[in-house]
Structure 1
Amino acid sequence: MFELEDEDQRGVFKPSMYKPMYVIPFRITDNVNRQPQNINPQRGNPPYKEYQNVESKFQVSLKTKVWQDFLGFKGDFWVAFTQQAYWQVYNGDLSRPFRELNYEPELMYVVPLQLSIGDFKWQMAGLSINHQSNGKEQLYSRSWNRIILMNAFEYNDFMFITRFWRRMSEKTQSDDNADILDYMGRSELTVSYNSKKHSFIFLMRNNLKFNKNNKGFGEFTYIYPVGKGGLRLFAQLSTGYGDSLIEYNHSQTSLGAGIMLSEF
């Protein structure tokens, strides 16, 4: 994913896929968020809207290396951008609006490690500065900035990616989601398994509060290739808090299927 081997190096400013790119034409949820709740007393809550529980979702994600072998070391600087869209395409009564758009630019420093103990490999470590927002006006505005520590491990056909983060502080009066860590968590684990015909991805976030206030999010994806190209069919089941930024403090379970153009 990050050109960790010498023979994989492609140079700088050559865009490639980052996170999976996909289109889900039909996605159903058991608890659609028709009136997002805002804890900032200076903001208030937006009006209730008759959103449908079936919508479309798609994700676009690209990265490019901008500095190779930084200061003579093996580490590289990367920039990435990911966008998620939640589209009420079947909701003609509301003129088929985009219910939510999430934007996520990221600056990453990645160091290849390739440390092995038997079949277990510690492939890389990295540090990133991450911004995520939905770009909306005050009542609907959600955003946060993070410093993220990343690690990637490999064991046979399994890949493990861990991410631990610290949120950058904001002024209380301008913070639209001061309690976002309690719901979106402080860590993320992605486990993927790839065989010739089948791929599975499990993603889990958690706030690391091991008591009654424990909250998180889980997502399971099954992927099946179509033909010899890069096209894949997939199904995705998710549950918990933070399916999108506007739902950071809203829990729901969603199921969808679609076409994937790339994967981890």
Structure 2
Amino acid sequence: MALYQGGDDTMTLAEMRQQCAVKTAAEQPVKDSATTKAASEQVKPGLISQRLYNESRTQFEPFVITPHRMNYVLPVYSTNTINRLPYENVNGYQENLAEVEAKYQLSFKVPLLQEDLFIDGDALYFGFTLQAWWQIYADNISKPFRETNYQPELFYLAPLEWHPLGGNTAFVIGAEHQSNGRTQGLSRSWNRIYGQFLFEKNNFALSFRPWTRVSEDEKASPLDPKGDDNPDIEDYMGHFELGMLYQWHDMELMFQGRNNFSTHNGAIELGLTFPLWGKLRGYATAFNGYGESLIDYNHKQTRFGIGIALNDIL
């Protein structure tokens, strides 16, 4: 996968990663082989390549936190139908939930190896993402956090020497856990093994991520703390996610879609980032479908939000 723009935009991912693994690029020359030269002449780095290259320059610095997914705050996040059913046994919640709330996401990743693992340019990461939905406008219930989702994951990324349409490709294999940290009737969680195919060309990037759920034992009773909290979650969350992104001037436009072909349930999400001031970006999003959060995995809704992002989608 020919990647990245540094001083030379014909460098491959393997060359860039090798160059940035040392303290300075000048301390270790990049490999120069006829094979990598011939491949790099046919392709140019795209959005994914540029991001990975920029991260590789600082990700081992002690005071640098590398973003994984987006980091953002949506002070205004509306829904056409708030999910009240799970809170029927929580005193005061069901009737007082507001249909406008705030949401934020914090996400980072840590590289686990400084050297290539199996092939030139590959990498192993630990990632963590936290999402929180805050009922900041619900005066009658003391503005609680309605839902919080925690998502640790371990994943391996590697480039491919395949350049369809003059673009670059890579693959990811990972395992992730996602839960809301609640108990009994409000508890939701699942574990997934996923694969991911990445394609980039110029200002366009595409991601296709299918997954399989790690099975869990059935609960002996609905209030049993052990066992599967949500055995039908794949009926609503689907079996794959398709993502596309296009960078236009200083803006990024994003599409994500999930689907289960058997139940025809899933979701569509649109996103837009745009410049504000300094490092801050504006972020607008729209969502329709199931699974906007774990507590809402089987609840269909339409949501709109606007706020501030600390980093772009890519």
The TM-score normalised by the length of structure 2 is 0.75
Task: Within 5 Å, give how 1:56-95 maps onto structure 2.
Answer: 56-74=102-120, 75-95=122-142
Partner of 1:29: 79
Residue 194 (structure 2) aligned to one of 131, 138, 148:
148
SS at match of 1:191: strand
In structure 2, distance between residues paired with 1:250 and 1:72: 42
Q: CA deviation at 1:71?
A: 4.1
Residue 237 (structure 2) aligned to one of 158, 176, 184:
184
Gaps of 5+ in 1: 38-44
Partner of 2:70: 20
Partner of 2:228: 175
In structure 2, distance between residues paired with 1:109 and 1:183: 27
Asked if the contact 1:129–1:145 (Cα under 8 Å) also holds between the matched residues in 2, the reply is: yes
SS at match of 1:182: helix
Q: CA deviation at 1:199?
A: 1.4
Q: CA deviation at 1:67?
A: 1.6
% same residue: 39
Cα deviations by residue, 1:196-216 (Å, 9 ceiling, x for unpaired): 22210111111132xxx2000
Q: CA deviation at 1:248?
A: 0.3
Q: Does 1:250 align with 2:310?
A: no
Q: CA deviation at 1:120?
A: 2.6
Quick one: higher RCO (CA 8 Å, sep 6+), 1 or 2? 1
Asked if the contact 2:117–2:123 (Cα under 8 Å) also holds between the matched residues in 1, the reply is: no
Partner of 1:241: 290
In structure 2, distance between residues paired with 1:136 and 1:202: 30
Distance 1:232 1:71, change over 3 A: closer
Structure (1 or 2) with the larger CA radius of gyration: 2
Residue 280 (structure 2) aligned to one of 221, 227, 231:
231
Letter in 1 for 2:298: N
Letter in 2 for 1:84: Q
Asked if the contact 1:68–1:77 (Cα under 8 Å) also holds between the matched residues in 2, the reply is: no
Residue 155 (structure 2) aligned to one of 98, 108, 116:
108
Distance 1:180 1:72, change over 3 A: closer
Partner of 1:165: 211
In structure 2, distance between residues paired with 1:27 and 1:136: 23
Greater strand content: 1
In structure 1, distance between residues paired with 2:60 and 2:212: 29
Q: Does 1:218 align with 2:268?
A: yes
Tell which deviates more after alignment, 106-115 or 232-241: 106-115
Partner of 2:223: none
Tell which deviates more after alignment, 109-118 or 85-94: 109-118
SS at match of 1:245: coil
Greater helix content: 2
Cα deviations by residue, 1:48-82 (Å, 9 ceiling, x for unpaired): 61211010000000001002445453322100000
In structure 2, distance between residues paired with 1:114 and 1:252: 41
The TM-score normalised by the length of structure 1 is 0.89
Q: What is the number of residues matched between the two proteins?
A: 251
CA-based RMSD = 2.0
Letter in 2 for 1:220: L
Partner of 1:117: 164
